[in-house]
Amino acid sequence: MISIFQNYGGELLTGLGQTLLCSIIALIFALIIGSAFAIMETMPNKAARIIARVYIEVFRNIPLLVITMFFYVVIPMYIVKISGFASGTIGLTLYSSAFIAETVRSGIQSVDPGQMEGARANGLSYWQSMRYIILPQAFRYVIPPLGNQFINLVKNSSVLAFVAGFDLMYQANVIASDSLKSMSTYLCVGLLYLVLTLPLSYYMRHLEKKLA
Amino acid sequence: MKKILSKIGLVVALMLMVVSLGACSNSTSGSKRDVLKEDQQSNTITWGVKADTKLFGLMDVKDNQIKGFEVDLAKAMTKKILGKNGRARFIQVTSQTRMPLLANGNIDAIMATMTITPQRAEQVDFTRSYFDAGQAILVKNGSSIKNVKDLNRNGAVVLGVVGSNSVQNIKKFAPKARVLQLSDYSQALTALKSGQGDALTTDNGILYGMSIENPGYSVVGGTFTKEPYGIATAKGQRPFHNALNKALTEVENSGQYNKLIYKWFHNVRGFDMKGAER
Amino acid sequence: MLTVLGAYSWVNIRFLLEGAWVTILVSVCSIVLSYIFGVILGIVRYVKIKYLSAIVGFIIDIIRNLPLILIIFFTYFGLPHLGFKPDPIWASVIAWRSLKQRWLLKLFEQESRRFRLVKWKGPGPMA
C-alpha cells in the first residue's frame, strides 16, 4: 500500500484535486440552485410550484450516471462539446440540487407558518420575511440532512471516473490496472476519500450539536 | 477536548486497521488449489471472456450468449481438456476486472484479448500466443489523422480503455497527445462518436469489429506494435497451464483453429487471413 | 436521431427489460436487508452499549463516507479473500445493503434526534 503512495503519488494527488474541485463547484451551485427551487416550491404562486416540482422530480429520479452520460455523449453530438470533467460536474450539480431542494423545502415547511404571518404583519415584504425570518430558521433545522447531502455529493463525484474526468476513482482504476494491485489501490483511494469526507461529517455533527 | 482526542485516536486506529488489511491482501492471493483437478471433478472450465468486443467476445442480446472467436476457441479447448462432455462456463470480464478475478479464483483462465507482456507475466502465467494482433487507430472517415504520427501534437486526444496496454503504448508513439481512459470499448466508441477524442486506439482485431458495425469509421495507418494474445492462468497452476498449451496445439493441428479464423474474420475488410491461419 | 430510434427494436427492449429485472431484484433485496440491518445497528448505537456502540458507530462512519462504487469493488474483489465468492449481482446487493443500512441508520438516528428536538421545541414559540 505504501508503494502505491510512493509510485503513484502524482496521480493520486491529481485525483484528489479534481475530486475536491468538482465537489466544491457542484456544492456551491447545487446549494444555490437547490435553495432557489426550494423557495419556489413553497411560494404561493402555483406556476412556480409546478416548475420546481417538475425539476426536482426529474433530476431526483434519474440516476446520476444517466444525467452525466447525457451531457458527455448526447449534448456534444448535437450542440456543443463538453469535456468529461465538465459534464460530470454539471450532472452532479443538477442531481444534488434536486436533493438539496427537497431538504431545504422540508426545512422551510417545518418553520411555523405563524412566523411568516407575523413577519408580514410587521410590515416585511414576502422576500424580506423569507430572507430574514424563515430561511435562517429553516437552515438550522436542515443542517443534519444537508450535511448528509454534502457527503453524498463528495462520494457521488466518483461518477467522473466513467467519463474520464481524472478524479480519484478514475486514477484508482488506472493505477489498479497499471500496478496490478487492485486491492491495495482501492484501499489507498478509500483512505483518501475518508480524508475528504470524515472531517466534513464530524464538522457537521459538531455543528448540529452546537445548534440543537 | 478529551472527547476530540479519543476521536482522533479512533481514526488513527482505524487507519492502521485498513493499512494492515491492505498488507494482508497482497499476500493472500497465491492459492494452493489445483485448478485442473477441480475442473475435471466439476467437468467445467470457467473462462473469463470479453462481452463487449465484436469478433472476439460479444454479448448477443437475442439469446444472452457471449459469442466470438475467443468463445469458440475456449469451447474447443475445453472439449480437448475435459473430453466431449466437458462444459465451458463464461464470465464476462473487462480489461480492468480480469486480473483481480483470476487472482481471486472467480475464473480459471482469462481469454480476453490479453496481450502477453513481461509486466503481466510477473502476476500471471501465459500460454503461448493463440492470436497475433497489433495496435492500430480508428478514426472518423475523412479525418485529417492518417496514422499514429499525426496524433503526436499538442491538443490531440486519444481514447483508450483502462487496463489495456494500448494506452501505455500510445504514450510512446504519440507522447504529446492526451490520453483519456474509458471503462470499456463500447464506452470508448461512444466517446469517439460524440467527439470527445480524435482517435480510438487498441488492437486491430477489436477495431475491425467496430468498423464493421460503424461504417462511418475506419482503421487507418496499419499496426504499429505487435500484440500476441495469450491465455492467462493464476501462478503456480502448472498442470492446468500445460493442459491449455496442449489443447491449443491439438485445436491448431486438427484444422479447427483455421475454421474458426475463417468463421469470424473472412469478411473483415483489410484483415490478413493467410497471416492469421496456423 | 435515427440511431436513437434504432435502439428501440424489440430485441433491445427485451434486453433492457432483463436489465430492469436485475435492477428490481437488487433494489428489493437491498431495501429489505438494509432496513433490517439498519434498524438493528441503529438500536445498538442508540442504546449505548459500552465499546460495542462505539465500534458500530465507527464502522458506520467509515462506510457512510466511502463512494458506493468503491464498496462494490471491495465486496467483489475483497470478499473472495475470505473464502466467499459472490457473482456480480450479489456483490452489488451486499454492497448496497451495507451502504444502505448505514444510511438508514443515520436516518433513524436523525429522526430520533429530531423527535427529541420537536418535543423540546414544542412549547417554545408560545411561551
**Which of the four pLDDT bands, split at 50, 70 and 90, describes residue B4?**
low
Do A197 and C117 lie within an 8 Å CB cutoff?
Answer: no
3-state secondary structure of A152: helix
Do A145 and C69 lie within an 8 Å CB cutoff?
Answer: no
pLDDT at residue A88 in the model:
95
Sign of CA dihedral B45, B51, B57, B60: positive
Where would I find the beta strands (DSSP E) of chain B?
Answer: 44-50, 52-53, 57-60, 65-67, 87-93, 109-110, 124-126, 131-133, 135-140, 157-161, 178-182, 199-203, 217-220, 227-229, 232-234
Domain limits of chain C? 33-118
pLDDT at residue B249 in the model:
93
CA atoms within 13 A on the CB side of A98: 19
Alpha carbon of A93: minimum distance to chain B alpha carbons (Å): 21
**Which of the four pLDDT bands, split at 50, 70 and 90, describes residue B26?**
very low
Do B187 and A162 lie within an 8 Å CB cutoff?
Answer: yes
Do A194 and C66 lie within an 8 Å CB cutoff?
Answer: yes
Do A174 and B190 lie within an 8 Å CB cutoff?
Answer: no
pLDDT at residue C111 in the model:
47
Domain limits of chain A? 21-167
Task: Determine which of A70, A182, A188 to mutate to test the interface with B (most B C-beta atoms within 10 Å).
Answer: A182
Q: Is A3 on the interface with B (CB under 8 A)?
A: no
pLDDT tens track for B82-118: 988 889 999 888 877 888 888 878 889 999 999 998 8
| B277 vs A18: CA distance, rounded Å | 48
Alpha carbon of B195: minimum distance to chain C alpha carbons (Å): 16
Of residues B172, B191, B173, the one with CA closest to residue B181? B191
pLDDT at residue B49 in the model:
92
Contact residues, chain A, for C62 at CB < 8 Å:
194
pLDDT at residue B32 in the model:
64
The complex's ipTM?
A: 0.74
| B272 vs B275: CA distance, rounded Å | 5
Which DSSP string do the residues of A57-74 spell out, in sequence order? HHHHHS-HHHHHHIIIII
Residue that has been written with the C-alpha cell 492467462 in this structure: B232
* Predicted confidence (pLDDT) at residue B75 exceeds the cutoff of 90: yes
Chains linked to C by 3 or more Cβ pairs within 8 Å: A, B
Chains linked to B by 3 or more Cβ pairs within 8 Å: A, C
Give the residue with greater pLDDT, C2 vs A120.
A120
Cβ contact B174:B152 at 8 Å: yes
Residue of C nearest to B193 (CA): C3
Q: Give the number of other Cβ atoms within 10 Å of residue A163's Cβ.
A: 29
Write down all domains in chain B, each with its CATH number in brackets.
35-132+228-276 (3.40.190.10), 135-225 (3.40.190.10)
Q: Is A199 on the interface with B (CB under 8 A)?
A: no
Contact residues, chain C, for B10 at CB < 8 Å:
54, 58
Of residues A83, A102, A95, the one with CA closest to residue A29? A95
pLDDT tens track for B188-219: 998 999 889 999 999 988 898 888 888 899 88
Residues of A with CB under 8 A from a CB of C: 112, 114-115, 144-145, 148, 151, 155-158, 161, 169, 172, 182-183, 186, 189-190, 193-194, 197-198, 201, 212
Residue of A nearest to C125 (CA): A112
Of residues A99, A88, A131, A91, the one with CA closest to residue A31? A99
**Which of the four pLDDT bands, split at 50, 70 and 90, describes residue A68?**
very high
End-to-end CA distance of chain C: 64
Cβ contact A142:A132 at 8 Å: no
Contact residues, chain A, for B163 at CB < 8 Å:
173, 176-177
SS3 content of chain C, % helix, strand, coil (to 5): 85, 0, 15
What is the Cα B269 distance to its own chain's centre? Answer: 23
pLDDT at residue C98 in the model:
55
* Predicted confidence (pLDDT) at residue B21 exceeds the cutoff of 70: no
Please enumerate in sequence order all residues whose Cβ is within 8 A of that of B88, keeping only pairs 6 or more positions apart, or say none.
Answer: B44, B45, B47, B74, B75, B78
pLDDT tens track for A122-164: 999 999 999 999 999 998 888 888 888 999 999 999 999 889 8
Q: What is the mean pLDDT of residues B226-244?
A: 92
Cβ contact C94:C86 at 8 Å: yes
Alpha carbon of C33: minimum distance to chain B alpha carbons (Å): 25
Would you state the cell numbers that stand for residue A91, as one nine-digit string? 450532472
3-state secondary structure of B160: strand
Q: Is B62 on the interface with C (CB under 8 A)?
A: yes
Residue of A nearest to C75 (CA): A183
Where helices occur in B118-165 by DSSP H, the ranges are 118-121
Quick one: what percent of chain A has pLDDT higher than 90? Answer: 55
pLDDT at residue C26 in the model:
79
Would you state the cell numbers that stand for residue A2, as one nine-digit string? 505504501
B256: phi then psi, degrees, rounded to nearest 5: -65, -40
Q: Is B61 on the interface with C (CB under 8 A)?
A: yes
Cβ contact B135:B225 at 8 Å: yes
pLDDT at residue C30 in the model:
80
Task: Determine which of C70, C77, C100, C118 to mutate to test the interface with A (most A C-beta atoms within 10 Å).
Answer: C70
Task: Determine which of A23, A155, A198, A211 to mutate to test the interface with C (most C C-beta atoms within 10 Å).
Answer: A155
Cβ contact B58:B90 at 8 Å: no
Chain A, residues 162-181, CB within 8 A of chain B, namely 162, 164, 170, 173-174, 176-178, 180-181
Of residues B148, B183, B135, the one with CA closest to residue B163? B183
pLDDT tens track for B40-72: 888 999 999 998 888 898 888 778 788 999 999
* Predicted confidence (pLDDT) at residue B139 exceeds the cutoff of 50: yes
Contact residues, chain C, for B62 at CB < 8 Å:
11
Residue that has been written with the C-alpha cell 475530486 in this structure: A19
Residue of C nearest to A212 (CA): C117
Alpha carbon of A208: minimum distance to chain C alpha carbons (Å): 10
Sign of CA dihedral B196, B199, B205, B208: positive
Do A148 and C78 lie within an 8 Å CB cutoff?
Answer: no
Cβ contact A92:A131 at 8 Å: no
Task: Determine which of B194, B198, B202, B235 to mutate to test the interface with A (most A C-beta atoms within 10 Å).
Answer: B194
Alpha carbon of A132: minimum distance to chain B alpha carbons (Å): 34
Q: How many pairs of residues across B and C have Cβ atoms under 8 Å apart? A: 28
What is the Cα C78 distance to its own chain's centre? Answer: 18
A21-167: which CATH topology? MetI-like fold (1.10.3720)
* Predicted confidence (pLDDT) at residue A108 exceeds the cutoff of 50: yes
Do C65 and A201 lie within an 8 Å CB cutoff?
Answer: yes
Task: Determine which of B119, B180, B190 to mutate to test the interface with A (most A C-beta atoms within 10 Å).
Answer: B180
Would you state the cell numbers that stand for residue B46, as one nine-digit string? 470457467
Contact residues, chain C, for A66 at CB < 8 Å:
none
C33-118: which CATH topology? MetI-like fold (1.10.3720)
**pLDDT tens digit at each of 127 positions of chain C:** 344 455 556 667 777 777 778 778 878 888 888 888 888 888 887 887 888 888 888 888 888 888 888 887 777 766 666 656 556 666 666 665 555 555 555 555 544 444 443 333 333 333 2
Alpha carbon of A9: minimum distance to chain B alpha carbons (Å): 17
pLDDT at residue C100 in the model:
54
Would you state the cell numbers that stand for residue B82, as one nine-digit string? 475435459
| B185 vs A212: CA distance, rounded Å | 52
**Which of the four pLDDT bands, split at 50, 70 and 90, describes residue A51?**
very high
